[in-house]
Structure 1
């Protein structure tokens, strides 16, 4: 008896088939090659049709291997939006969470995101769906026939089930912006105040709500946010654990039973009760990708494109962490800005004649990623940090990079335990299908005791 979880990521799409009776998993991952080059450096868009076709391809591969599939859960990249028409068809690209139109200047040197923040009281950043939508309204970019907007995960559920209208849950609705997390609803009055037609917003339902059948017989459940799905798929004891995930971006998450509002951390709904406080950095593993490209270009420049280049992550994992740690370069990894300071830039300092080496530069980048997460950790209320003594690490950067794990442990002075599955968000989505189908009663039991 298998449950499928799909994670629609920015750079890859992963499927997990979880055998509920034998507690085993099988995974399929494909590169997300849906990016569309619009010629505008600030625009980050992907092809939703390509994404849905890839999701179906993964499901069909699992169908060919397993006779009994009892449910499908979906998760994926939060904040971004797709516009759909009355027939439930996409009439736009996916404007991803990395889209930078919200940082364009609206008037008087104020960005679109800053204008909305100042006129709503909500912390809003570029890439948030309603910020993107507001820009599109002001610049006459709403596609013809658009009647609703939704996340890419909600759209995938629509195409799997034949739904004509999107159904989102609280976790994804909150990622669009203008969402009252404490009351679990969009702030319609604030949206009215900025002149936005709220009829375009998706319907909100409980997490993992039954949404229809795929192929006439496999139940499909409403999507949940990938931050929450990753937490569900990784953490076994939410009272003692802090979740750190490092993929393209990076996030630090801690569970709170009670609603807490902070300037330094996002308060996000947790499926079926409670919240997670989240520190989100825009450039986590992407910092290492950037450094990798720098070294490859340097090698090409000096070597004339000849010769074989060693694997970057093999080099990382062979660096002597202790040897270089006391004379480290100070790297601020704000290469894509931050949520609160979008125009912030990265930097490299503390350079001396003895430490400006490739090894120390690599270590400095890794330390910079960890420091940004540790800064978030330091702002967590003491009562929530009190019993925390374990970092649960997930994401491709942590999976591939033992140096990153060692530096995380040194930075936090906590033991790091890697997620038990290679694709924790997809696994979390499969658990959502279990809950949606009432095979288990709630996420809390999964988090505390495992499945």
Structure 2
């Protein structure tokens, strides 16, 4: 997955991460291997008045937000621009061959596929039964309520999948829309769609679930530009779009003898390997010719945000400013040495459950500090359980902790250290932007290696 190395004078480089909570960007300095002028805008809010299981976003709103961010970051840039882009994984937008939207963005947070269908099973269960174990294994065992394949299956069953529609990620749609072309798909982004033995779209598996006639965009394996466009009379080339999970771990400098715990809106535990090694976990393509064994969709920021909204619901109705909420929560947690509250924060379908709870509550411990401390203890315990499933203990010698939420809640690192008797390396800063910086530097420096 390495593109041809090209060095251009009179050009500048921008990194864009189309995240679930925010869209972040930075101006890259390839000579000093650093980034400056970091900007962030909120990811557009979902449509109103939908059932609670639906999460749909207007894709054009995302295009506008990314375009504005590119304009902001391009001030003072000389020559042509290179945009390095990664984005949230899963979910789907349907587009035509000119980059126009044929559907809303069905988010990876959408839960419609866990509703019960006509057979008495959920839609996701019906899909899973259509795949023999060997087929599912070749797909990397990727199957979540908001997976691209799962949502496409639901759309097909409900006659909402136009015959010429091209499925794509939200970041790939943004690029296609700006360039007025059919969307492409990088192999790090095409999770649950590839035959990982061949690294090609797994048409036979898709045929099993009624998606055999779906049109797919060009599959991209390298770092070369995938699109060109002009914004405010400046020419841009787009590189990507890469999976934000892999990009974050690339930025964190994950090595093969390390176990990654990435904590953000979603959370994953991952191990880097030199080859495709199927097992009781998901498998994904990484950079540098390597792979990731991973367990994703572990409860983290999304679950804690639900708890935060509960704790602040009345104040929010009064228009209170909640911008300092996470800082206040961290302070309240720091003031408590331990808690006897027991938490299960699987408030949505995850690998560890479908419902959550708090127990052992008393008048003394029914506080924000105790509730969030218990939630962090539960997260750390989840990581220990998943690590045992993912890898033999002797196959990793240290922990890499990354992600914005891990930085916001320092006590979480303490609880993780308690459960893993080995060194823990914390990655501070914007790991996805750092990952994009590393990819851009490799592409522009012929002597560097993408490893």
When the two structures are superposed, what TM-score results if normalisation uses the length of structure 2? Answer: 0.86
Q: Any residues of structure 2 matched to 1:251-270 within 5 Å, and which? A: 251-263=268-280, 265-270=281-286
Q: 1:407 to 1:273 in 2, by over 3 A?
A: same
Contact 1:316 1:403 in 2 (8 A): no
Contact 2:397 2:423 in 1 (8 A): no
Superposition deviation, residue 413 in structure 1: 4.1
Is the counterpart of residue 427 in structure 1 residue 434 in structure 2?
yes
Q: 1:426 to 1:159 in 2, by over 3 A?
A: farther
Q: Any residues of structure 2 matched to 1:102-251 within 5 Å, and which? A: 102-120=113-131, 121=133, 122=136, 123=141, 124-143=143-162, 146-162=164-180, 164-174=181-191, 177-215=192-230, 217-235=235-253, 237-251=254-268
Contact 1:157 1:221 in 2 (8 A): no
1:4 partner SS: strand
Contact 2:259 2:396 in 1 (8 A): no
1:153-176 Cα distance to aligned partner (Å, 9 max, x none)? 2112223434x22211111112xx
Q: Partners of 2:110 and 2:320 in 1: how far apart?
A: 37
Contact 1:8 1:75 in 2 (8 A): yes
Q: Any residues of structure 2 matched to 1:386-405 within 5 Å, and which? A: 386-395=395-404, 397-405=405-413
1:18 partner SS: strand
1:184-219 Cα distance to aligned partner (Å, 9 max, x none)? 122211222333233422221214232132327432
Report the equivalent of 2:450: 443
Is the counterpart of residue 44 in structure 1 residue 52 in structure 2?
no
Higher helix share: 1
1:213 partner SS: strand
Report the equivalent of 2:311: 295
Q: Partners of 1:55 and 1:32 in 2: how far apart?
A: 10
1:55-99 Cα distance to aligned partner (Å, 9 max, x none)? 111111121133256521111111111111232211111111011
Q: Partners of 1:306 and 1:436 in 2: how far apart?
A: 47
Contact 1:434 1:440 in 2 (8 A): no
Is the counterpart of residue 276 in structure 1 residue 292 in structure 2?
yes
1:378-399 Cα distance to aligned partner (Å, 9 max, x none)? 223227x53422323222x122
Q: 1:368 aligns with which of 355, 378, 381?
A: 378
CA RMSD of aligned residues (A): 2.8
Is the counterpart of residue 78 in structure 1 residue 89 in structure 2?
yes
1:289-346 Cα distance to aligned partner (Å, 9 max, x none)? 2222222236689xxx599889433333334659542x532211100121475xx201
1:173 partner SS: coil
Q: Partners of 2:151 and 2:448 in 1: how far apart?
A: 37
Report the equivalent of 1:312: 325
Contact 1:279 1:373 in 2 (8 A): no
Superposition deviation, residue 117 in structure 1: 1.2
Q: Partners of 2:204 and 2:327 in 1: how far apart?
A: 53
Report the equivalent of 1:4: 14
Q: 1:318 to 1:2 in 2, by over 3 A?
A: same
Q: Partners of 1:37 and 1:199 in 2: how far apart?
A: 29
When the two structures are superposed, what TM-score results if normalisation uses the length of structure 1? Answer: 0.86
Q: Partners of 1:231 and 1:178 in 2: how far apart?
A: 21
Q: 1:379 to 1:307 in 2, by over 3 A?
A: closer
Q: Partners of 2:40 and 2:422 in 1: how far apart?
A: 31
Superposition deviation, residue 249 in structure 1: 1.4
Q: Partners of 1:309 and 1:13 in 2: how far apart?
A: 20
Q: 1:353 to 1:219 in 2, by over 3 A?
A: closer
Gaps of 5+ in 1: 445-451
Report the equivalent of 1:410: 418
2:14 partner SS: strand
Q: 1:25 to 1:310 in 2, by over 3 A?
A: closer
Superposition deviation, residue 230 in structure 1: 0.7
Contact 2:55 2:107 in 1 (8 A): yes
Contact 1:97 1:128 in 2 (8 A): yes
Contact 1:81 1:151 in 2 (8 A): yes
Contact 1:81 1:94 in 2 (8 A): yes
Contact 1:158 1:166 in 2 (8 A): yes
Contact 1:392 1:419 in 2 (8 A): yes
Contact 1:391 1:416 in 2 (8 A): yes
